[in-house]
Structure 1
Amino acid sequence: MMEENGRFQLEMSITDSITTCLSPPVYDMVCRLGFDTKESCDINSLVSQHGEICWKILAECICYTDSGENVDYLKSVSLLGPVCEAVHTHIYSLTKAQFEVRYTFWCQWTNFPELFPEIFVALKSLQPEAIPLSLMKLTSCLERALGNVFLLIGKECPFLLRDLLVSKELAEVFGQSVMNILRVFIGSPHGLNLRNILWHGFVSPKEIPPKYCSMLVFLTAGLGQLLKSYLQQTNFALVHRPFVTFTNLKDLIIFPDINDEVLSVVEELIKKSTFVLKIMIPFWEAIVMKFRSHRYADCIILLLTQLETGLRKIFTEVNKCPKRFLTAESTAFYTTFDEMLAKQLNDVEINHLPFFLGESAMEFLWDFLNHQEGPRVRDHLSHGEVNLNDFPKEVTNQLLAFSIVLLFRFVGEDVLSVSMENVSIRILISCANRYCSQFHPVSQLKKKILHCEKSIKIWPQLPLVPEEQIPEATRLESSSEVNDCDNLIIKISSELQYYMLQSDHNFNNLLDYPPTENWSLLLHELCSRHIRTLYCPRSVLEVLAILQKISVHCHLVSDQIIATTEVRYKQWVQKTLRSRQRQNYLRMLNSIKLLSSVLQLLLLLITMELVSIHIVNEKNACEYQQYLKNGK
């Protein structure tokens, strides 16, 4: 991952002169248009003495195109400018206690009411990251809450915010004019689009006018008032979907804990690494500060945006497409993680970023951002699916450690050589260079195979009825099946021996019962082999899915044998088994050797298929379909 460090040092320094990552039209929309109208707005016309928000006045600021069907976002942003200013001045004038009385209560429907006093403090803060961070947390919280409202009458909540905001379900609850107001601020690429430009790392510190943050808080409280009225009329109850939890944390931990010594190095590093845009340095400083103060959710939210910004910078350099560095217009897509981590730029052009970053770095990014079995931290955070108050340090630590290594790739040799004298830094870089995917289907299959192997090895420890207590008739019953299976196992074992000529393992009695250590060692050796995971074709993924199902069923059978054997033995000793249960139990005991050999054989075959998985690509369509049919 550290190779070719200096190649882009000179080229990438040209982006130091960048003063904004927003394209001119987007910059005008966000930073200027809302200040064009000089008329003032009376806050008393927007909110009553009792705190009720007047949506009618807000709706009058929404302009429509000549057809009357579509929102004219440019005119609407301009007219809403003074309204946002009045709301911001009003909220800014309140004390924290007054704010909580007037607005926090109405934000309880979001299931995150404690966020809003925090945002109130941020509105008065001088910290450069305060407003962007507050808006990112607010937009994700609002998206999740609106999804909960959607499910009052809808069945499947849209994944994208823009689709959620145009749904007939939300229009039925809040009214179409209210949804149009929201879409001016978030969810539409034609409007301010605050959610997307923030979460994708296009916004620099203090670039978003604070009045838009105040306005979204104001609108969230107003939505709470409308929702209360709707729930009273319909007698519906709002249900909050449970948060996503990160279950496989031990699989995430590749890097050691980041200590203060490393953080001190990072504080200097962000000023010297060309991975960091100069205008974004305050964000990186905030990342270190948030990690130090154990604000792990805040840290990783900021880190994700800056990781995307830095990678976009590299992406545009290595692919020679500098225009894609800025925000796209409403008629085109942004350059986001999805495009940057893809194999190709389009049907013809290859994406050169994976070649530049290297396999280890790409596997890490795919693991943390894309693979379905992985943490998918950006998706879960940006869609409000995670409890920010209980965000695990382990996840933040891993992503920060990876990002630190990336920073080192874009420093001069003098800085790198000095830093490499630090043992902690050397360990981080070494861990990054050795990284292998943990959540790709290949890796998941390896884990399933070894979990099943561990289960099968428990069988010899199970309590069994002494053989002399098993009637001879029962023992003879399955002898022919055992012999047939033994013959098949012997034949396959000889084939395995030919296949694994370079292995040090002795294949004699490989699949005996009880399972031999040799069998386990062979499985572990095969599973330790490197298998290419990046950009696996669909055919490979289909086969992997079938192999995973087979391995899961093998594990299920093994666990069932263990559970049944333990229960039946206890009942045998207590003499509580009925006649038929005794016969079935004894037959099962007589079959354990056969079952063990079969499961061992199946696991070995699955593992061999896994090791040679990419041979699937060499099959023609007919051969491939037959192969799939045999697997199923």
Structure 2
Amino acid sequence: MSNSTYLSPGVRELLLSVSLVKNYTENDQDQISINKIRQCLSVGEMGIDYLESIRRLDVKIFPQIEYIFNQMTIEQFQSSYNNDLYCGWLKNRKDLFRVFNFLKNNEIHLATLLLTCFTERNLGNLLLLQINTVPNLLRQIVESSNLCTILGSDLTLLLQLLIGSPKSINLRNVYWHGFVQYNEVSPKFTYLLLYLILQIGPILNDKVIPERQLISFHRFINHTFLPTDICCPNANIAIELIQNSHLIDNGYKPLLISSIDYFFHRNEYGLSIMLLLPVFEYLLRKLFVHANNCPERLLTAEATTLYTTLDEILTCCLPDGSPNRLCDELGHGYMSLLGDLLTFPDGVCLRSKLSHGETDYECLPRSVSDAQLGLLFVLLYRYDKYKLDKYGQSLLDYINNYKVHYHPIAIARNQILQCVIKFKQMPDRSTLTEEVETETTDFPIQLTNFWQSFISPDKLPLFNNLSLQTIDILLNEDNINLINRYCTCKLTTTGYNEQSLIIMIRQICTHIYQILVNIDIFIENRGQAYHSKQLRSNQRSNFERFINIYNNFRQIILFICHFNASIIFSLDNICCIDLKYSSLLMKLLRIWLTFVENTLTLSNITRNRWDEIAALYSTSIEKSTKAILKL
């Protein structure tokens, strides 16, 4: 499974059509400009003729731009361009100078990866001068009529040549999706893109450019994806694995070794992973085509077809509906960590955020980077058939048993668990008042007949017994497969939408937790004063109203948590039953979502409307009972 190139013939011809010879001689009369570059483009009724345009550019423009930048030292480049005329519109101008440094050091790959995501971020900001929402893809940005209005048609056409449609040079995609090997493609394209970015500042004429907030990785800083003793201990082990690998083509090994250098020797985790991710995607693509016997999917696609990219590699089925065998081959634990790092919407989304310039790569936590390195090394240990050392065995064992954290269902489970933990901290009613406690009646909503319609008899006690113990059992039962659960080929046409159920459960849990916080604050502020008779008359009456509904309130919170846990436990059953049952679940969830939304407002320390909450409680029970009886 080794190739001299992973560029398909048409794409390869386009990218490798520039000469390697540096044949430019400086001429004082030969000033470069956007207009001069634009004149080299071959544009007809069908749009840009990309191959002819590149050949024309290669005669004089590419050599001249490369010559200009090669003659500059890093200090001269800084002195010429580090000012508001050229960089005033950029929000992260330091990266522009890092790109130049990489080019001077022959780090073409890293320069191109950083420059393309830097370009996407800043061109997207430009569009905010005219529109409110930036397109998701770089191609859509440079093809936008709004960008043409802002920058003019000449510069926009040149950007479309470099980073536009799949028919173009498509610099961003061929690099970020791992089709380009080390120094396989001339740096002339990267030099031209750098030059074009530098020409934008003077065009904007001091316009104030809006800025989108970067997405932070801060919430993952303390998350341990891999324990410290499972992380790769040093660079020597990593480099030995890479150099001895038969899975990795020689053309990619320098990129991985550079990634290891940035990781272990420079502590530049963002740059390290920027280099690693495209190679990681290329490796998964190799395994994908081998597992599914589709060797034609290994190369870059021509303009008429789609690339085999990470999204397809990790989905559960192929375009023809047949199963993707790679998912089973990699295993549940591996796919779970992949999801947490790359694909789950609430997870890190590492590749997406880095490649689209949505985050500050310098703030990437080491814990995330360690985990991504771990995923790479698992592939090498497994597919290169290394004799497992202690590190390799520990890594494989841990990842094979990895439990997913950021799948929507896993998050919903954890939210219910947090609500239960908070619920357990609520005091008994007897600690709030000296009044004799009346015996609590059974909860008025009965779902026994509902659950027994599709739950096996041996599991029914879990659904009928409203208690903290049964909630714990329901939440800790590992009975459903979360990997590729929402793959498009699995979506039903019956109208049942599991994702809507999970979204509603998560919304309810968010509100319940805050309600319990409100209750805790209220008891802390008023409880002691009530017992010491320090409350005013109206405050005392208010606290007594709270005591009167307290047990019912605890019971309803317990019911909602149990109901949510029961739904999650039975998801595989729900998707197979009559739509009327799942419709009832949605209706009940909406009723109780409305209840907790209103209760959250009414339980706020500035309101404390306990009578109104009691009325809401009664109304919600009545609505739920009617809905159940209609079934």
Q: TM-score, normalised by structure 1?
A: 0.83
Structure 2 equivalent of residue 239 of structure 1: 210
How do 1:166-565 and structure 2 match up within 5 A?
166-227=143-204, 229=205, 231=207, 237-246=208-217, 247-251=219-223, 253-256=225-228, 261-293=233-265, 294-412=267-385, 415-416=386-387, 419-420=388-389, 422=390, 424-460=391-427, 465-467=432-434, 483-486=440-443, 511=467, 519=468, 521-530=469-478, 531-536=480-485, 537-538=490-491, 539-565=497-523
Q: Structure 1 residues 628 and 259, CA, compared in 2 at 3 Å: closer, same or farther?
A: closer
Q: CA RMSD in A?
A: 3.1
Q: Contact 2:20–2:186 (CA<8 Å) still a contact in 1? A: no
Deviation at 1:356, TM superposition (A): 1.5
Which amino acid in 2 is paired with 1:201? G
Deviation at 1:543, TM superposition (A): 2.3
Q: Report the more deviating stretch, 545-554 or 386-395.
A: 545-554
Deviation at 1:350, TM superposition (A): 2.3
Q: Provide the rounded CA distance (Å) in 2 between the counterparts of 1:62 and 1:37.
A: 21
Match of 1:62 among 38, 41, 49: 41
Q: Structure 1 residues 44 and 244, CA, compared in 2 at 3 Å: closer, same or farther?
A: farther
Q: Structure 1 residues 156 and 491, CA, compared in 2 at 3 Å: closer, same or farther?
A: closer
Cα-to-partner distance string for 1:593-616 (whole Å, 9 max, x where unaligned): 222222123212221221121101
Q: Structure 1 residues 547 and 615, CA, compared in 2 at 3 Å: closer, same or farther?
A: same
Deviation at 1:464, TM superposition (A): 6.0
Q: Contact 2:333–2:399 (CA<8 Å) still a contact in 1? A: yes
Q: Structure 1 residues 251 and 605, CA, compared in 2 at 3 Å: closer, same or farther?
A: farther
Match of 2:105 among 125, 143, 151: 125
Q: Structure 1 residues 429 and 43, CA, compared in 2 at 3 Å: closer, same or farther?
A: farther
Q: Contact 1:451–1:555 (CA<8 Å) still a contact in 2? A: yes
Q: Contact 2:134–2:141 (CA<8 Å) still a contact in 1? A: yes
Q: Report the more deviating stretch, 212-221 or 114-123.
A: 114-123
Which amino acid in 1 is paired with 2:183? K
Structure 2 equivalent of residue 30 of structure 1: 15
SS in 2 for 1:132: helix
Q: Provide the rounded CA distance (Å) in 1 between the counterparts of 2:473 and 2:188.
A: 60
Q: Provide the rounded CA distance (Å) in 2 between the counterparts of 1:574 and 1:185.
A: 76
Match of 1:93 among 52, 71, 74: 71
Deviation at 1:564, TM superposition (A): 2.4
Structure 2 equivalent of residue 614 of structure 1: 572
Deviation at 1:275, TM superposition (A): 2.9
Q: Provide the rounded CA distance (Å) in 1 between the counterparts of 2:539 and 2:30.
A: 80
Structure 2 equivalent of residue 51 of structure 1: none
Q: Report the more deviating stretch, 70-79 or 26-35.
A: 26-35
Q: Contact 1:257–1:397 (CA<8 Å) still a contact in 2? A: no
Q: Structure 1 residues 490 and 467, CA, compared in 2 at 3 Å: closer, same or farther?
A: farther
Structure 2 equivalent of residue 583 of structure 1: 541
SS in 1 for 2:6: coil
Deviation at 1:462, TM superposition (A): 10
Q: Report the more deviating stretch, 197-206 or 453-462.
A: 453-462
Q: Contact 1:290–1:298 (CA<8 Å) still a contact in 2? A: yes
Q: Structure 1 residues 497 and 208, CA, compared in 2 at 3 Å: closer, same or farther?
A: closer
Q: Structure 1 residues 222 and 44, CA, compared in 2 at 3 Å: closer, same or farther?
A: farther
Q: Provide the rounded CA distance (Å) in 1 between the counterparts of 2:360 and 2:430.
A: 45
Structure 1 equivalent of residue 6 of structure 2: 21
Structure 1 equivalent of residue 525 of structure 2: 567
Q: Structure 1 residues 615 and 258, CA, compared in 2 at 3 Å: closer, same or farther?
A: closer
Q: Contact 2:23–2:63 (CA<8 Å) still a contact in 1? A: no
Cα-to-partner distance string for 1:494-552 (whole Å, 9 max, x where unaligned): 9999755899xx97xx74xxxxxxx2x54334322212112325533232223223323
Q: Provide the rounded CA distance (Å) in 1 between the counterparts of 2:332 and 2:29.
A: 59
Deviation at 1:104, TM superposition (A): 3.2
Q: Provide the rounded CA distance (Å) in 1 between the counterparts of 2:536 and 2:446.
A: 35
- Work out the percentage of aligned pairs sharing the same amino acid: 26
Structure 2 equivalent of residue 156 of structure 1: 133
Q: Report the more deviating stretch, 190-199 or 599-608.
A: 599-608
SS in 2 for 1:270: helix
Q: Provide the rounded CA distance (Å) in 1 between the counterparts of 2:288 and 2:295.
A: 9
Q: Provide the rounded CA distance (Å) in 2 between the counterparts of 1:622 and 1:217.
A: 59
Deviation at 1:199, TM superposition (A): 0.2
Q: Provide the rounded CA distance (Å) in 2 between the counterparts of 1:449 and 1:324.
A: 43
Deviation at 1:79, TM superposition (A): 1.9
Cα-to-partner distance string for 1:50-85 (whole Å, 9 max, x where unaligned): xxxx322222122211x2x72222222222222122
Q: Contact 1:36–1:78 (CA<8 Å) still a contact in 2? A: no
Q: Provide the rounded CA distance (Å) in 2 between the counterparts of 1:497 and 1:318.
A: 37
Q: Contact 2:7–2:299 (CA<8 Å) still a contact in 1? A: yes
Q: Structure 1 residues 192 and 241, CA, compared in 2 at 3 Å: closer, same or farther?
A: same
Which amino acid in 2 is paired with 1:55? I
- Equivalenced residues, count: 572
Q: Provide the rounded CA distance (Å) in 1 between the counterparts of 2:50 and 2:444.
A: 76
Q: Provide the rounded CA distance (Å) in 2 between the counterparts of 1:580 and 1:344.
A: 64
Deviation at 1:153, TM superposition (A): 1.6
Q: Provide the rounded CA distance (Å) in 2 between the counterparts of 1:220 and 1:158.
A: 19
Q: Provide the rounded CA distance (Å) in 2 between the counterparts of 1:103 and 1:543.
A: 53
Deviation at 1:39, TM superposition (A): 8.4
5+ residue gaps, structure 1, are 1-14, 48-53, 232-236, 512-518
- Give the number of the structure with larger relative contact order, counting CA–CA contacts within 8 Å between residues 6 or more apart: 1
5+ residue gaps, structure 2, are 492-496, 591-631
Deviation at 1:262, TM superposition (A): 4.9
Q: Structure 1 residues 117 and 461, CA, compared in 2 at 3 Å: closer, same or farther?
A: farther
Q: Structure 1 residues 260 and 629, CA, compared in 2 at 3 Å: closer, same or farther?
A: closer
Q: Contact 2:423–2:516 (CA<8 Å) still a contact in 1? A: yes
Deviation at 1:570, TM superposition (A): 6.4
Q: TM-score, normalised by structure 2?
A: 0.83
Q: Structure 1 residues 179 and 291, CA, compared in 2 at 3 Å: closer, same or farther?
A: same
Q: Structure 1 residues 252 and 498, CA, compared in 2 at 3 Å: closer, same or farther?
A: same
Cα-to-partner distance string for 1:388-433 (whole Å, 9 max, x where unaligned): 2222111111110121111111123xx32xx33x2x3322111111
Q: Contact 2:315–2:324 (CA<8 Å) still a contact in 1? A: yes
SS in 1 for 2:149: helix
Q: Provide the rounded CA distance (Å) in 1 between the counterparts of 2:12 and 2:261.
A: 28
SS in 2 for 1:386: coil
Q: Provide the rounded CA distance (Å) in 1 between the counterparts of 2:258 and 2:20.
A: 29
Q: Provide the rounded CA distance (Å) in 1 between the counterparts of 2:119 and 2:583.
A: 46
Q: Contact 1:110–1:141 (CA<8 Å) still a contact in 2? A: no
Deviation at 1:491, TM superposition (A): 8.6
Which amino acid in 2 is paired with 1:434? N
Deviation at 1:443, TM superposition (A): 0.3
Q: Structure 1 residues 576 and 158, CA, compared in 2 at 3 Å: closer, same or farther?
A: farther
Q: Structure 1 residues 145 and 578, CA, compared in 2 at 3 Å: closer, same or farther?
A: farther
